Amino acid sequence: MGRVTKKTRRSRKKNRSRSSDRAGRAKVVERLEAAEEKQRHVRLVLRQGDPVAGFVVGLTPKRVELTVLAEPGQVDGVVSVKVRDVVKVRKVPAVLGDSPALGRLTHLEEIEELAQAVVDEAFEEGWPYDPQGIEQLTALQQAIRELACVVRREEPVGTPEA
């Protein structure tokens, strides 16, 4: 056995830190793969910069792509992050506090409530829901009928062929 010098100690310490970095990166990649497979919303803690949250839409050994929800009326974005910059992967709900997604979900809930109101009013006025007489429906009545099927989560029955 040879002498252990300062240089040898530094070299061994460096090798240990590299192996722990590889193990940490493997764990990050494993969690990202699981999130992509299960379509989970995750928050990535980065070495430098602010955390990024979104759904994993693409994953390579070196990069991960996340969809980032934007304010209602704006286009969602895709953020690409280097895997080596990711320190932790945390599973979080898609809506946190005052995030832009909260406004989007509220907007969608309002649309659903309005759609339900339209369907209710249409049937109170006697618009048909049954498959008999579908040929006599106007385009508006057919659209309301399809909307009713979506709101009630049913399959449309007897929809005429176009």
Residues 79-103 pLDDT 10s: 899 988 998 888 877 765 555 555 6
Determine, yes or no, domain membership for 1: no
Domain identity same for 57 and 111: no
Determine, yes or no, domain membership for 161: no
Determine, yes or no, domain membership for 162: no
More confident residue, 71 or 146: 146
Determine, yes or no, domain membership for 13: yes
Domain identity same for 130 and 67: no
Domain identity same for 72 and 122: no
Distance of CA 79 to the CA centre of its chain: 13
Cα angle 86, 92, 93 (rounded to 5 degrees) comes to: 145
pLDDT tens track for 110-142: 788 888 888 888 877 777 666 666 677 778 888
Tallying the residues shown for the chain, one arrives at 162
Number of domains into which the chain is organized: 2
**pLDDT beyond 50 at 8:** yes
The whole domain housing 143 covers 100-151
pTM as predicted: 0.48
Domain identity same for 26 and 55: yes
Which of 40, 62, 90 is the C-terminal boundary of a domain?
90
Helix 100-124 and helix 139-151, axial crossing angle in degrees, nearest 10: 120
